[in-house]
Amino acid sequence: MEHFDVIVVGGGTGNKVALAAAERGMDAALVERGPLGGTCVNRGCNPSKTLIHRADIAETIERASEFGVNAETTDIDFPRIVREVTSAVDEQSVEMERTHRERDDVTLYRDEARFVDDRTLEVGDERIEGERVVVAAGARPVVPPIDGLDDVDYLTSADALRLNDQPEHLVVIGGGYIAAELGYFYEALGTHVTIVGRSDVLLSNEDRDVAETFTEVARRRHTVHVGHEATSVSRDGGEVTVTAEGDDGETITVSGDRLLVAAGRRPNTDQLDVENAGIDTDDRGYVETNEFMETSAENVWAQGDIAGNYQFKHAADRETKYVEKNALDGQREAIDYSSMGHAIFTSPQVAATGKTEEDLRDAGREYVIGRCAYADTVMGKAQKERDGFVKVLADPDNGDILGCHIVGPDASTLIHEVLLGLASGSGTVSDVTETIHIHPALSKVVLKAFEDVE
């Protein structure tokens, strides 16, 4: 049985830990059954956001006449768009693998792995043992138990990013950020999109005001059925039909030529037999970690989607730094998530950090609200933005920023001055209001929302 100083299971952000171990003179093993780079590089944020940029360009052309510019889209080369993006993604993954294979201090295993004992894994036909183990094996799309689903050809988020032919009518089961982003991408390029969501709004995990606004905008772009749960799926020739039941008992049927199932993600712990290594999981199957990213098993750490703290690439990158400190350097430094934010790359974009108003209300926490519409700023008017706004939640006594929620153009960028205040400032409203904002930059919408709190 081969013995290593460090074994990393998962080649997404986990590959950084393996390389960091090697740079410290440790003998490292990296186990990854698929292409290196994990979900983000190969099947998630990198290809999806690159594709969505094409959708943004198409939307800009579509709206050009609103601004007195006569322009039209005469052709969309869908196969070329997908081919260029996937080729770049695949090249990056191949280069990552080449880098690992050229090193003598990192052994790459491209096979399935399962724990068989404490810090001991069966990889293919071999068994390997580590002095330390980092579990970074990610998550995968949920496939809900819908009657007839196994008998039809459906897409998940991974497949939907690599289609050669553009659907005429895409039916989406799910109302979260994956459904929203992919629905926007396909619709902007000319596909009719129908979304069937179980919650009463799309993006139901966002602040309610944001979710309601986004749902209203989505109804202008797509056919949207919220408050409906898919109960059965069938195919007749080239058409797939979804039957869904509403909260009020109403039954609807929707049909299209392709079906996308975007009903969330689940951790890959069940495929690793983590219980054999004494690694505890929560009731959703995610590996439980403490503030040092340690699991219940001695000398075993976990990071990324499989740990379930935050399902974002930037969260996994943050966790990687702490795993390197704690697992490789022998430190015990607690991770700080206080400036964690996220964004959804749709049109309009959505971004947020901290608590929602519903979170605070449920916790009995007092708060005050500041708000500014994009339309109440010079640049917002210039962009003819009628839906977007910034909403701030703050402590009424000391001005602590409790949450900030943005829906509108460039939300993913605008949120960062709030994150900077939380990470490096006082974490209060004054971090934003005391900063000079360039006029008439779009960031004035953030300033005015924070001034509204004061």
Q: What is the mean pLDDT of residues 242-270?
A: 95
Q: How far is residue 127's CA from residue 125's CA, in Å, rounded to a whole number? A: 7
pLDDT over 70, % of the chain: 98
Residue 439 annotated as catalytic:
yes
Quick one: which of 265, 28, 270 has its CA closest to 279? 270
The residue from 3, 100, 342, 439 that is catalytic is 439
pLDDT at 335: 97
Report the distance separating Cα 414 and Cα 416, nearest Å. Answer: 5
The domains found in the chain, sorted by start residue, are 2-141+266-328 (3.50.50.60), 149-263 (3.50.50.60), 341-453 (3.30.390.30)
Indicate the pLDDT class of residue 103, thresholds 50, 70 and 90.
confident
Express each pLDDT in 143-185 by its tens digit.
999 999 999 999 998 889 889 899 999 999 999 999 999 999 9
Q: Is the dihedral of CA 268, 40, 353, 54 positive or negative?
A: negative
pLDDT tens-digit series, residues 323-357: 999 999 999 999 999 999 999 999 999 999 999 99
Distance CA 400, CA 365 (A): 12
- The whole-number pLDDT of residue 132 equals 98
Nearest to 409, CA basis, from 377, 371, 366: 377
The residue among 160, 161, 190 whose CA lies nearest residue 172 is 160
pLDDT at 41 over 70: no
Spatial separation of the C-alpha atoms in residues 448 and 105, rounded to whole Å: 54
pLDDT tens profile 198-241: 999 999 999 999 999 999 999 999 999 999 999 999 999 999 99
> What is the arithmetic mean of pLDDT over 282-300?
97
Kindly tell me if the per-residue pLDDT of 284 is higher than 70. yes
pTM for the model = 0.94
pLDDT per residue as tens digits for the range 46-93? 888 899 999 999 999 999 999 999 999 999 999 999 999 888 887 887
